[in-house]
Amino acid sequence: MSRYIKLAICLLTFTTAIGQEKWDLRKCVEYALEHNIPIKQQDIQAKIAELTLKQSRASQIPSFNFGGNVGITTGRSIDNTTNQFTTQNIWYNSFSLQSNVDLFNWFSKRNTIAGDLYSSQAAKASVDKLKNDISLNIASAYLQALLSKEQINASKLQILLTNSQLQNTQKLVNAGSLPELNLAELEAQLATDSSTLITAEGTEIQSLLLLKSILQLDAGVAFDVDAPPVDMIPVEPIGELQPEAVYQLAIKNLPQQQVNKFRLEAARKYSDAAKGNMYPTFSLGASLGSNYSSAKNPGEPIRTPTGALDTVAHVYPTNQQVVVPKYNTINTSFSSPYGTQLSDNFSNRIGVSVNVPIFNGRQARTNWQKQKLQVQNLSLQQDLDNMTLKQDIYKAYTDAITSLQKFNASTKSVAAAQKAYDFAQKRYDVGLLNTIDLLTNQNNLFRARIDRLSAQFDYVFKMKLLEFYRGQGLKL
């Protein structure tokens, strides 16, 4: 057995050993959608947008807050309970309940909620868009891997054909019917075919590495793809994929168009909300509260007689003394109990307030004008993306037609090359054709088969791209 054949068998055995697990396209896509990091990041952004929407909706509910504090005041201060100056060290404690609700704000809050709803829907559609983009990249890499496998099969067939000719020629050379030059030329061809196989094997490994990188699999993990016959891959008839009809469906189904639609609607609602902030707002507020203070209040003084008398006047003209008893006076103070103070100091408030923006550095008006420009910008972006989508669809349709024509032409080329090779083989067998001419016909057949495979896979991918635009997803 030739050393080239041994090398080829070793390569095939090695490839079989590393390709333990075979994945079909569905498994590849499902794995990527579950483990892809950018998809997870985009999904987090969608969850953040959902939380923003929940917060906006909750802003319609009246606010309700409880507050309390405790502390000590030293030095000269005002007693919060008596509202008088004091120099006592005072412990204080207060509680309050407050509530507020918007009565009318020119629908600013309602439009903000509607804008957040559209923004949340746009974020979810962005996740779907990223999933579609990754799925399309996987399909492209998957088909490239299938093509590399088919090229390996074609190279194997070429080696078997050359080896068969080599063995027959060896017998004829041994019998003296053919010169050794013919044998040397076939050995050189076998070496070339083996090199082609090695190149095809390397291309397959590279294509699998590319697919693993898209899947974010470790490069050292055993991995291989299931290779269905390319003839068995379902393809829609080209007549059912007219570009204008595909475009109309793409406008309704593709996530990118949905993203643009929701972002534009959100911008319009945010613009209306910004306009509402330029007008007066009315709100209703209410509160309950009470407080406690440790400050002592003056009480009734305590007076006790001393037994002595004190002259306070004289009677005219007798000059008789007027006396009164002397007393010792003790000043007293007291502090009301904690519960009593909270009850006595209880207060409540309810009222309607209005806020009229007069001048705030043009903040409200500038914000509204910015939002209007954002609406215009997103509208232009939507038109641009729709135009790009239409161009891509028409290009994909044209490419599909061209690929189909190339595939049909290459099929005819294979048939013609096969017929020429069969005639050349018959002439070679009877000694009417030299080895170089035979190998030329054999190589022409090999190149025709490779060209046909490339054209066929290119046609399948272009058709799958049109099906993808129409919203059919990806299936092999």
Whether 307 and 275 map to the same domain: the answer is: no
- The residue written with tokens 């490419």 in the block is 399
Q: 309 and 270 share a domain?
A: no
Question: Per the domain annotation, does 444 fall within a domain?
Answer: yes
Residues 238 and 327 in one domain: no
CA separation for the pair 318, 191 (Å, rounded):
160
Structure-token pair, residue 286 = 């209410």
Which pLDDT does position 409 carry in this prediction? 94
What pLDDT is stored for residue 126 in this prediction?
95
Mean pLDDT by 10 residues, the chain (476 residues): 43 44 85 91 95 92 90 72 69 88 87 95 94 89 88 88 85 80 86 91 92 88 85 80 91 91 96 92 92 71 74 76 74 71 86 88 91 96 94 92 91 92 86 83 89 89 87 68
CA 221 – CA 311 distance, rounded (Å) = 117
Q: What is the DSSP letter of 284?
A: E
Supply the range of the domain harboring residue 409.
Answer: 3-35+105-279+363-469
pLDDT at 318: 76
Residues 252 and 370 placed together within one structural domain of the fold: yes
In a shared domain, residues 310 and 250: no
Count structural domains, the chain.
2
> 113 lies in a domain?
yes
Q: Does 373 fall in a domain?
A: yes
The confidence score (pLDDT) of residue 83 equals 65
Contact 294, 92 (CB under 8 A): yes
Q: The pTM is what? A: 0.75
Same domain for 164 and 308, yes or no, is: no
- 94 falls within a domain: no
* CA of residue 6 relative to chain centroid, distance: 50
Which DSSP string do the residues of 416-457 spell out, in sequence order? HHHHHHHHHHHHHHTTSS-HHHHHHHHHHHHHHHHHHHHHHH
In a domain, 48, yes or no: no
Which CATH number belongs to the domain containing residue 131 in this structure? 1.20.1600.10
Do 327 and 367 reside in the same domain of the chain? no
Answer yes or no: do 418 and 305 share one domain.
no
* Burial label, 27 (beta-carbon count in 10 A; 0-12, 13-18, 19+): middle
Whether residue 261 is found in the same domain as residue 307: no
